């Protein structure tokens, strides 16, 4: 089975599992997703959603974030960790969007990467979820699971993105990334993947290799 065939099988399998999946970060305005994504670094989406429920009411506009008192904003986002850096990035981000992009989210990767605190992962998230463009979001779930499936041998996000762009149909790539995240939370967990009940086990390289190890150990006993 080629990597392309395996990737299409994974797409079909996850579409059956999560046909209506959406981004797990709560937002009602495009810039809110950018802020939530910045807060999610080294923090769970669930915790971010708790924080942003209050945060987005306190700062109801992009201008409100741009004009926020930095020390006060730090306390508002403190539960998400790394609050000094994140608060500074959010304030800078708001000012950059207002000053350089008329308060709108840019539509190109190159422009998005000029914004404070925005890397390729968040930039691709914005392209996919705000503008509906093809995008591969290489978070920890995505890197782990595509590696286990045998779709890439790389661990570096940019290299994984480059590998998977060749394999995942562009029109479903953003949706597939959200499906992968949920699959990683439900089944293909970091420490104890539920391989026995995994619908991808028939074409998963990790499952195949684990079975080989177990059979080898049995022969040695």
Enumerate the active-site residues. 121, 139
Concatenated DSSP letters of the chain? --HHHHHHHHHHHHHHH-TT---SS--SSHHHHHHHHHHTTTS-HHHHHHHHHHHHHHS-SHHHHHTS-HHHHHHHHGGGS-HHHHHHHHHHHHHHHHHHHTTSPPSSHHHHTTSTT--HHHHHHHHHHTT--------HHHHHHHHHHTS----SHHHHHHHHHTTS-GGGHHHHHHHHHHHHHHTS-SSS--GGG-TTGGG-HHHHHHHHHHHHHHHH-
């Amino acid at each position: 089975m080629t990597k392309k065939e395996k990737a299409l099988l994974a797409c079909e399998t996850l579409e059956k599992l999560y046909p209506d999946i959406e981004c797990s970060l709560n937002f009602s305005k495009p810039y809110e997703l950018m802020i939530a994504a910045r807060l999610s670094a080294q923090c769970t989406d669930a915790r971010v959603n708790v924080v942003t429920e209050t945060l987005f009411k306190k700062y109801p506009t992009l201008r409100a974030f741009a004009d926020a008192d930095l020390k006060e904003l730090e306390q508002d986002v403190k539960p998400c960790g790394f609050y000094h850096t994140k608060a500074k990035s959010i304030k800078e981000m708001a000012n950059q969007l207002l000053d350089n992009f008329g308060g709108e989210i840019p539509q190109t990767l190159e422009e998005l990467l000029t914004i404070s605190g925005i890397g390729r992962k968040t930039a691709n998230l914005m392209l996919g979820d705000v503008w509906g463009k093809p995008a591969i979001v290489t978070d920890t779930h995505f890197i782990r699971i595509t590696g286990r499936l045998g779709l890439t041998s790389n661990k570096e996000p940019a290299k994984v993105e480059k590998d998977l762009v060749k394999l995942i149909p562009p029109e479903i790539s953003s949706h597939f990334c959200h499906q992968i995240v949920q699959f990683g939370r439900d089944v293909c967990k970091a420490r104890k993947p539920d391989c026995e009940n995994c619908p991808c086990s028939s074409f998963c390289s990790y499952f195949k290799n684990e079975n080989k190890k177990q059979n080898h150990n049995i022969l040695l006993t």
